[in-house]
């Protein structure tokens, strides 16, 4: 069994051999990754069910198809992404070749979380492979069945020289972080992110952090409560609320709340039936520890449970729960919930709601439900978050054209689509000058004079190139 | 509250008023900054002369010329850069609005360096202002006179609450680093870079680090050595070698070493006269500490040209070292001074090997008439930027990203890159509550039929013209509504 350093040394040697550079190699690896997913779809779905009791539908949509989509997108666009990007020049450099070249960084590390263990590990990996790097992936040990499956499948489909899976818990991860990487991509919590950043600082390693936060959901103005309820329920209780972009809490007026709660109740029954625990379409909490954490929040809340509240420790089940009359300092407002509990805070004015969200850390996503575009505009322009979505939840992250990432406490850097390719590339500025026009160069050599300076100002100004 | 805490708190309060949000406001601040340079050249030049012994023309050329160009570029393009950027959609989001919304980060900390104090301190500030941020400016205390001028002049021209100047040394910088910023932009060396990153880790603050390294310069024996050496001499001895992208050392075959030395010697005389000490266009080492550091590097190498020095004046003559070995003192760290070592190598292969043994530098230079040589050098090495057949000038092309990789830094800037680097590019999806029927396929209870439809709609990305889009949309809506009503449910 190879040690971590042996594995990394092997990857570095492979990278330095230049094998990952040619487009053909990257295409082959991405195509093989596609086969890995296609050939093993059933096993993937089963592993996810074992880890999170993930319904097949959710597993397909959020763990299989989104990965396949990203692979298709990368394969369609890889050639153009790899092309040099020519840039505009000034007069002094008109005859030169100036372009930006995307180059691989080297050996990169991707640390995955447990809530979407396939998607959040493989999606960044696609960007890293497309960009020509060697990759170490560290799946979450918490989602053990998926961890096992990835470890078994990866070496069967991808080059063993260039891509490795390293397993283990916090101790192994800390040891791994002592090594030098050319980029570290981490998805998870703020606490661990600080540890990752400190380890990266030692080697001046650039980092991408995909963290979380409390994603607010503001509902104001004229709103179709039934449609809003459908989308809100879907986004909130998908994966039993264990999504970094799940709407965490709702802010609305009393009247809206009174229209919303019965709509939520109805939608929950439409989706999951009257005995939700028996529905095959509802996930479970990932571990006993998280179940206890969530029940703790529910027990400490000073709000009123109006929907749900049922729970079953053995089954790690918590019913989709709605809590009203929640105040800003409630237990449910302390940390990211990451579970199927939806607090509703009653705040009459939109302005006051916006002010409340400004008192909290910047979240990964920000939601607003309203039929009035002025309300949507006001919220967009008076908030800051990783991403923004009006009148729906989660789906904005399925668009490969949008950069997916946080800001402030929700992280920095982004990926998806060509953003993933860029995250793992070095944009090298390349300038190829000719030998001619040495006389023009003389303007810049000492002895310096005012006359030379004026000529130089003209030739190097951006205005002068518009004359040409 | 310490002075630093107060400045940061005031900047954050000023940011929260929202006045830097409007593009007009930002452009006005940039226009005021422009006026600072057109009105105060004399004071700026006088301070630079005292700090680095640059002439007024030299100061303009190397420092303020670039900044004035950058400000003009920003004023011209800011409206476009700050506007929402539309992106491709998939079939499911066809009727929605999807775009990237550039937004300010908040309060940015800009830590400047001493070698081109105006260029490396103000250029990031321009990006910060343009992106709508507040910015705390911390000039380098090493260039004493220039930081005083910055402290005096900036508040007169630009918003002094949004963009405070905080001067000071190590303790003041450490106090600043204890505060929470939304981005830290640092120009300097890798040792301090690590300290900055560690401080930033506590607040999960993203950083841009513009560091340095030993930028290699390979001279192919078949090139026009006379022209190559002119360009290299200019690149090396400008600012007395104290440039992060100066050609640090030369690699060439032994057969041309003497010719290179001869040509460089000729150019030194042409640019800086027989006695560079009295030439107004030749600079000085910034202070005695750095003087001693650079002089110590001469110990175990052969001086081919120059070597004269005067500690009291921080003067070191333009110097060339010959037959230098990779183990020599001068090859152990970035020189950042007017010493040009020549390391003889057997050819391109050995040069590439030697370069790859070291850390990735900020710039890499190759002089050759042969494109194959240039391409090999480029393909088999890594560096922040790459320039063939000249030195430094890639810095002046605003459309090229300027930044390092590995030990030479994180992130890049200049022009639009500065704007994007100091912005948050927020992904936005604006939907309506209509067309709920189409959403039905994703809701539980889940059926295989619904799954099939969902897969179809989500998996295709479409990129058609507006008319095509509208036609397709209309057709789709009808089809979807009919199918879903009649067949799926």
Q: State pLDDT tens for residues B433-476.
A: 887 777 777 888 888 778 777 777 665 544 444 445 565 666 66
Interface test with A, best of B429, B450, B455, B458 (most A CBs within 10 A): B429
Q: State pLDDT tens for residues A314-347.
A: 999 999 999 999 999 999 999 999 999 999 999 9
Nearest-neighbour CA in chain A from B144: distance (Å): 25
Interface test with A, best of B282, B414, B427 (most A CBs within 10 A): B427
Task: Give the closest of B378, B398, B444 to A281, CB-based.
Answer: B444
CB B211 within 8 A of CB B407: yes
Tell me the chain A residues in contact with residue B461 when contact means C-beta distances shorter than 8 Å: 73, 400-401
User: Which residue bears the tokens 């396939």?
Assistant: A118
- Rounded-to-integer distance, Cα B132 and Cα B9, Å: 17
Residue A401 in 3-state DSSP? coil
Tell me the chain B residues in contact with residue A449 when contact means C-beta distances shorter than 8 Å: 57
- Rounded-to-integer distance, Cα A374 and Cα A368, Å: 11
Report CA-CA distances (Å) from B483 to A189, B92, B437, B480: 43, 15, 10, 5
Higher-scoring residue by pLDDT: B488, A244 = A244
Q: State pLDDT tens for residues B123-144.
A: 999 999 999 999 999 999 999 9
> What ipTM is given for this predicted complex?
0.93
- Catalytic, out of B4, B210, B253, B334: B210
Q: State pLDDT tens for residues A102-116.
A: 999 999 999 999 999
- pLDDT surpassing 70 at residue A466: no
Check: pTM over 0.80? Answer yes or no: yes
Nearest-neighbour CA in chain B from A84: distance (Å): 12
Tell me the chain B residues in contact with residue A18 when contact means C-beta distances shorter than 8 Å: 380
- Residue A465, pLDDT score: 43
HEC secondary structure over B335-381: CCCCEEEEEECCCHHHHHHHHHHCCCCCEEEEECCCHHHHHHHHHCC
> What DSSP string describes B253-306?
-HHHHHHHHHHHHHHHHHHH-S-GGG-TTS---SSHHHHHHHHHTTTTSEEEE-
Tokens of A451: 């006359």
Residue A344 in 3-state DSSP? strand
- Rounded-to-integer distance, Cα A379 and Cα B131, Å: 20
Number of A–B residue contacts, CB under 8 Å: 294
- pLDDT surpassing 80 at residue B93: no
User: Which residue bears the tokens 């020509």?
Assistant: A132
How does residue A1 score in pLDDT terms, banded at 50, 70 and 90? low
How does residue B482 score in pLDDT terms, banded at 50, 70 and 90? low
Contacts of A107 (CB under 8 A, 6+ apart): A8, A11, A12, A15, A133, A134, A135, A136, A181, A182
User: Which uninterrupted H or E stretch holds A323?
Assistant: strand A321-324
* Rounded average pLDDT over B306-318: 97
Catalytic residue list of A: 210, 244
- Residue A143, pLDDT score: 96
Of A234-238, A257-261, A444-448, B327-331, the one with minimum mean pLDDT is A444-448
- Rounded-to-integer distance, Cα A34 and Cα A32, Å: 5
- Residue B471, pLDDT score: 59
- Rounded-to-integer distance, Cα A91 and Cα A77, Å: 33
Q: State the greatest distance between any 2 C-alpha atoms of chain A, in Å, as a whole number.
A: 88
* Rounded average pLDDT over B204-229: 97
Residue A232 in 3-state DSSP? helix
Average predicted confidence (pLDDT) for chain A: 94
- pLDDT surpassing 90 at residue A418: yes
* Rounded average pLDDT over B140-167: 97
CB A387 within 8 A of CB A364: yes
Task: Give the closest of B98, B103, B426 to A401, CB-based.
Answer: B98
- Rounded-to-integer distance, Cα A305 and Cα B236, Å: 72
Adjacent-strand bridge partners of B207: B184
* Rounded average pLDDT over A223-247: 96
Reported as half-sphere exposure (CB side, CA atoms, 13 A), residue B107 has a value of 24
If we measure between CA atoms, which residue out of A211, A228, A249 comes closest to residue A341?
Answer: A249
If we measure between CA atoms, which residue out of A252, A249, A248 comes closest to residue A222?
Answer: A252
Nearest CA in chain A to B371: A432
b/e map B284-305, b = 16+ CB within 10 Å: bbbeeebbeebbebbeebeebb
How does residue A91 score in pLDDT terms, banded at 50, 70 and 90? low
How does residue A73 score in pLDDT terms, banded at 50, 70 and 90? very high
- Do A388 and B194 count as a contact with CB atoms less than 8 A apart? no
Interface test with B, best of A446, A449, A453, A466 (most B CBs within 10 A): A446
b/e map B430-451, b = 16+ CB within 10 Å: bbbbebebbbbbbbbebeeebb
Tell me the chain A residues in contact with residue B459 when contact means C-beta distances shorter than 8 Å: 65, 68-69, 72
Residue B10 in 3-state DSSP? helix
- Long-range contacts: A262-270, Cβ < 8 Å, 24+? A263/A225, A263/A226, A263/A228, A263/A229, A264/A229, A264/A232, A264/A233, A264/A307, A264/A322, A264/A342, A265/A307, A265/A322, A266/A226, A266/A229, A267/A226, A267/A229, A267/A230, A267/A233, A268/A233, A268/A237, A268/A307, A268/A308, A268/A320, A270/B443
Interface test with A, best of B388, B444, B461 (most A CBs within 10 A): B444
Handedness of CA B438, B440, B446, B450 (dihedral sign): negative
Task: Give the closest of B400, B430, B459 to A87, CB-based.
Answer: B400
Task: Give the closest of B398, B451, B459 to A69, CB-based.
Answer: B459
Q: State pLDDT tens for residues B253-309.
A: 999 999 999 999 999 999 999 999 999 999 999 999 999 999 999 999 999 999 999
DSSP state of A23: H
If we measure between CA atoms, which residue out of B164, B169, B144 comes closest to residue B154?
Answer: B164
- Rounded-to-integer distance, Cα B120 and Cα B109, Å: 13
Tell me the chain B residues in contact with residue A451 when contact means C-beta distances shorter than 8 Å: none
Residue B184 in 3-state DSSP? strand
* Neighbouring C-beta atoms of residue A302, cutoff 10 Å: 12
- Catalytic, out of B143, B229, B240, B244: B244
Nearest-neighbour CA in chain B from A323: distance (Å): 22
Task: Give the closest of B198, B281, B461 to A73, CB-based.
Answer: B461
Average predicted confidence (pLDDT) for chain B: 92
Nearest CA in chain B to A437: B227
How does residue A460 score in pLDDT terms, banded at 50, 70 and 90? low
- Residue A463, pLDDT score: 54
Adjacent-strand bridge partners of A346: A252
């Amino acid at each position: 069994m190879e040690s971590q350093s042996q594995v990394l040394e092997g990857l570095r040697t492979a990278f330095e051999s230049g094998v990952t550079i040619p487009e053909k190699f990257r295409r082959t690896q991405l195509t093989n990754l596609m086969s890995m997913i296609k050939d093993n779809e059933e096993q993937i779905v089963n592993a996810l069910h074992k880890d999170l009791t993930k319904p097949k539908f959710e597993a397909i949509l959020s763990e299989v198809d989104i990965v396949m989509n990203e692979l298709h997108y990368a394969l369609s666009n890889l050639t153009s992404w790899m092309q040099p990007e020519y840039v505009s020049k000034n007069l002094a450099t008109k005859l030169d070749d100036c372009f930006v070249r995307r180059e691989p960084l080297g050996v990169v590390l991707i640390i995955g979380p447990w809530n979407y263990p396939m998607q959040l590990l493989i999606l960044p990996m696609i960007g890293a492979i497309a960009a020509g790097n060697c990759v170490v992936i560290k799946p979450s040990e918490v989602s053990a069945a998926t961890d096992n499956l990835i470890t078994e499948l990866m070496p069967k489909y991808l080059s063993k020289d260039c891509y490795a899976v390293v397993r283990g818990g916090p101790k192994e991860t800390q040891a791994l972080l002592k090594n030098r990487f050319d980029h570290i991509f981490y998805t998870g919590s703020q606490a661990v992110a600080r540890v990752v950043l400190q380890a990266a600082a030692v080697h001046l390693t650039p980092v991408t952090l995909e963290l979380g936060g409390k994603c607010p959901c503001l509902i104001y103005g004229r709103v179709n409560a039934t449609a809003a309820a459908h989308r809100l329920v879907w986004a909130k209780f998908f994966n039993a609320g264990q999504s970094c972009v799940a709407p965490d809490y709702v802010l609305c007026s009393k009247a809206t709340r009174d229209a919303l709660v019965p709509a939520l109740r109805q939608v929950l029954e439409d989706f999951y039936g009257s005995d939700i625990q028996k529905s095959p379409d509802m996930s479970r909490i990932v571990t006993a520890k998280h179940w206890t954490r969530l029940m703790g929040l529910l027990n400490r809340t000073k709000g009123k449970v109006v929907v749900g509240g049922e729970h079953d420790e053995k089954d790690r089940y918590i019913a989709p729960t709605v809590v009203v009359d929640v105040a800003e300092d409630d237990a449910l407002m302390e940390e990211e919930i990451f579970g199927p509990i939806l607090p509703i805070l009653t705040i009459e004015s939109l302005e006051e709601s916006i002010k409340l969200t400004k008192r909290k850390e910047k979240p990964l996503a920000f939601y607003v439900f309203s039929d009035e575009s002025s309300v949507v505009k006001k919220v967009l322009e008076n908030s800051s978050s990783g991403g923004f979505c009006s009148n729906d939840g989660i789906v904005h992250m399925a668009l490969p054209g949008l950069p997916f990432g946080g800001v402030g406490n929700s992280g920095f850097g982004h990926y998806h689509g060509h953003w993933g390719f860029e995250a793992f590339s070095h944009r090298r500025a390349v300038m190829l000058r000719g030998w001619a026009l040495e006389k023009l160069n003389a303007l810049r050599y000492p002895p310096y004079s005012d006359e030379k300076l004026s000529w130089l100002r003209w030739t190097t100004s951006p205005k002068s190139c518009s004359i040409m | 509250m310490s002075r630093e805490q107060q400045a940061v708190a005031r900047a954050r309060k000023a940011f929260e008023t929202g006045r830097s949000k409007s593009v007009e406001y930002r452009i006005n601040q940039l226009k005021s900054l422009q006026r600072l340079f057109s009105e105060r050249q004399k004071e700026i030049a006088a301070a630079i002369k005292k700090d680095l012994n640059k002439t007024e023309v030299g100061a303009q050329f190397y420092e303020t010329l670039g900044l004035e160009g950058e400000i003009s570029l920003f004023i011209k393009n800011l409206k476009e850069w700050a506007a929402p950027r539309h992106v491709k959609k998939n079939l499911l989001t066809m009727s929605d609005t999807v775009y990237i919304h550039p937004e300010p980060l908040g309060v940015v900390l800009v830590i400047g360096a001493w070698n081109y104090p105006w260029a490396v301190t103000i250029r990031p500030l321009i990006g910060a202002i343009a992106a709508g941020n507040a910015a705390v400016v911390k000039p380098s205390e090493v260039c004493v006179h220039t930081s005083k001028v910055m402290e005096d002049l900036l508040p007169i021209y630009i918003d002094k609450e949004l963009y405070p100047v905080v001067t000071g040394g190590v303790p003041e910088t450490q106090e600043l680093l204890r505060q929470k910023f939304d981005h830290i932009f640092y120009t300097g060396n890798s040792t301090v870079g690590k300290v900055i990153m560690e401080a930033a880790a506590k607040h999960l603050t993203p950083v841009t680090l513009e560091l340095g390294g030993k930028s290699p310069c390979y001279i192919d024996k078949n090139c026009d050595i006379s022209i190559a050496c002119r360009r290299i001499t200019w690149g090396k001895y400008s600012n007395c070698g104290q440039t992060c992208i100066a050609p640090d050392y030369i690699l060439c075959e032994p057969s041309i070493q003497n010719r290179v030395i001869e040509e460089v010697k000729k150019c030194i005389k042409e640019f800086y006269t027989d006695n560079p000490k009295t030439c107004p266009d030749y600079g000085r080492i910034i202070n005695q500490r750095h003087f001693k550091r650079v002089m110590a590097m001469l110990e175990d190498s052969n001086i081919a040209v120059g070597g004269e020095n005067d500690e009291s004046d921080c003067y070191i003559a333009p110097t060339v070292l010959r037959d230098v070995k990779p183990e020599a003192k001068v090859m152990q760290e970035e020189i950042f001074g007017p010493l040009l070592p020549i390391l003889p190598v057997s050819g391109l292969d050995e040069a590439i090997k030697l370069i790859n043994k070291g850390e990735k530098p900020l710039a890499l230079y190759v002089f050759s008439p042969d494109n194959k040589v240039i391409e090999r050098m480029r393909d088999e090495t890594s560096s922040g930027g790459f320039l063939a057949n000249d030195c430094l000038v890639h810095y002046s092309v605003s459309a090229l990203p300027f930044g390092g990789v590995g030990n030479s830094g994180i992130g890049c800037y200049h022009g639009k890159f500065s704007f994007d680097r100091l912005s948050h590019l927020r992904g936005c999806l604006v939907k309506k509550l209509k067309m709920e029927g189409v959403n039905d396929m994703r809701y539980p209870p889940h059926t295989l039929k619904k799954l099939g439809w969902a897969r179809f709609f989500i998996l295709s990305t479409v990129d058609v013209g507006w008319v095509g889009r509208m036609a397709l949309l209309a057709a789709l809506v009808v089809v979807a509504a009919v199918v879903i009503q009649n067949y799926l449910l």
